[in-house]
Each structure stands twice: as C-alpha cells, then as structure tokens.
C-alpha cells in the first residue's frame, strides 16, 4: 500500500513540475506538429494512404516520446533531485514506476491531442472510427515505449553523451512494439482481414510485462552510486 502511495506522490510531483514549466509537453507537442508538417511537404504530390498514415503517425509518436523521455531525468539530475529521491526510505523501484507512469501519461496526452490533428490534416476520419480500441492500442504501445524508455533514459543520463545516446539504445529494443502497434492501428483503421488483432494485442501485453519486470529488477543497479 505504501508502495503505491509513494508512486502516486512521485507522479503528482512530476505533473506539478510539468504544469509549472510546461517544458516536456510543449516540446513534445510542437515536435509532433512540426514533423507532421514536414512529412506533408516531403510527400507532396503523393497519395498518402491509410497504411502509410498509420506508419507516419507511430514514427512521429516514437520520436516525440524519445524527446520527452530524455528530458525526464535531466531535470532531476541537474537540480540534484535524484539524490534526494534516493535517500528517501522507499524502494528504488518506486522511483522507476513513478517516472515510467509519469512518462506514459505525458506520451498519452500528446497522442490523444495529435490523433484528431492527424485526421484533420490527412482528411482521414477512419482514425476515429473505434476510439475505445484505439485508446487501448495507444495505451499498451506507449506503456511499452515508456517502460523501456524510462530505464534506458536513467542509464543514458549518466553517460558522457547524455540524451544523445537514448535513441541509439532505445530504437532497436522498441522495434517489436512498433511492429505490433502499427499492425493493430492498421487493423482498427482499415479492418484488414489479414491481421490477427488478438495475437498482436497479446504480444504487446507480453512485451510490456517482460520489460516492466526487467526494469523492476534492474533499476536499482542503474541509479545506485
């Protein structure tokens, strides 16, 4: 019980700092918006079909997530807040879960605002056909990104290259998530009979559980000094 309480306190702290600085959210959202414009001009004169649009959307979400994830520990590190958190009498994994859930929260909000924007710019309403299922896919996909991303972000922040290293470490690990969310989203948008949604859904859940477990077990070694 105390475990969950501490996690909630940590999330509250992150949300509060974010509400004051609006640093992560603004940069993530603007990034999504600008990349969308870039893609539209890059593909000018070409028909963007639904499959391509889904791929573009998830690629942009992934890049935007990296932006947010890399910021998530920089603040803690620069202000010495991480040391403060480490001397609190809680389990180290509390810090991980607090951060991971906080990151998941930010990524989801950015996605939730961006999806209608995608529909608008690509004049494609099929994105919003089944909002509840779409939210489920967004949730599981973003959980995958934030579960691995938070662990790797805590690692890269302590290296010489800092946030430069995060995408290099994260992208190869995140490929299974990218494949399954793109498949699932295409299924929701086009109802492609060749896609088996149950398989990909279960696959995504297994992925999330595996990496949450690994992060839970190894996080204490990452921030231990």
Partner 1 sequence: MEKWNKKIDYFLFLLAFISLLVALYLTFIYSRIEKEMGIIQKIFYFHVPGAWVAFLAFFIVFIASILFLKNKDIKMDIISHASAEVGIYFCTITLITGPIWGRIAWGKWWDWLEPRLDTYLVLWALYIGYLVLRNAVEDDFRRARFAAVYGIVAFADVPLVIISILFLRKFMPHPGPIIFSRGGLTPDMKLAFFVSLFAFTVLFILLLRRRIFLLRIEEEIKNLKNKLGR
Residues that bind partner 1 (CB under 8 A): 148, 151-152, 155-156, 158-161, 165, 168-169, 171-173, 175-176, 179-180, 183, 194-196, 199-200, 203, 206-207, 210-211, 214, 218, 221-222, 224
User: Using CA atoms, how far apart are residues 145 and 158, in angstroms rounded to an integer?
Assistant: 20
Q: Which is nearer to partner 1, 15 or 209 (CB)?
A: 209
Token pair 């890059």 in the structure block, residue = 42
Q: Which is nearer to partner 1, 97 or 211 (CB)?
A: 211
Q: Which is nearer to partner 1, 136 or 176 (CB)?
A: 176
User: Using CA atoms, how far apart are residues 107 and 32, in angstroms rounded to an integer?
Assistant: 11
For the CB of residue 214, give the shortest distance to partner 1 in the complex, in Å: 6
DSSP assigned state of 66: H
Q: Which is nearer to partner 1, 30 or 206 (CB)?
A: 206
User: Using CA atoms, how far apart are residues 208 and 169, in angstroms rounded to an integer?
Assistant: 17
For the CB of residue 50, give the shortest distance to partner 1 in the complex, in Å: 17
For the CB of residue 140, give the shortest distance to partner 1 in the complex, in Å: 14
Q: Which is nearer to partner 1, 115 or 148 (CB)?
A: 148
For the CB of residue 28, give the shortest distance to partner 1 in the complex, in Å: 23
Q: Angle at CA 4, nearest 5°, toward 3 and 7? A: 95
Rg value, the chain, Cα: 18
Residue 40 makes CB contacts below 8 A (sequence gap 6+) with 121
For the CB of residue 72, give the shortest distance to partner 1 in the complex, in Å: 17
User: Using CA atoms, how far apart are residues 67 and 24, in angstroms rounded to an integer?
Assistant: 8
């Amino acid at each position: 019980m105390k475990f969950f309480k501490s996690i909630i306190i940590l999330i509250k702290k992150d949300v509060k700092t974010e509400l004051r600085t609006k640093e992560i959210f603004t940069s993530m959202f603007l990034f999504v918006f600008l990349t969308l414009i870039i893609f539209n001009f890059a593909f000018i004169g070409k028909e963007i079909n639904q499959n391509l649009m889904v791929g573009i959307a998830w690629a942009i979400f992934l890049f935007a997530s990296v932006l947010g994830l890399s910021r998530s520990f920089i603040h803690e590190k620069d202000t010495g807040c991480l040391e403060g958190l480490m001397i609190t009498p809680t389990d180290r994994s509390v810090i991980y879960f607090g951060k991971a859930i906080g990151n998941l929260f930010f990524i989801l909000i950015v996605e939730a605002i961006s999806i209608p924007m995608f529909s608008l710019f690509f004049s494609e309403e099929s994105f919003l056909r089944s909002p509840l299922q779409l939210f489920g896919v967004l949730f599981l996909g973003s959980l995958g990104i934030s579960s691995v991303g938070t662990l790797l972000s805590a690692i890269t922040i302590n290296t010489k290259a800092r946030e430069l290293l995060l995408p290099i470490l994260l992208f190869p690990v995140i490929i299974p998530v990218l494949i399954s969310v793109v498949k699932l989203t295409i299924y929701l948008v086009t109802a492609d009979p060749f896609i088996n949604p149950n398989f990909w859904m279960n696959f995504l859940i297994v992925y999330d559980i595996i990496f949450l477990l690994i992060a839970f077990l190894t996080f204490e070694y990452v921030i231990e000094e």
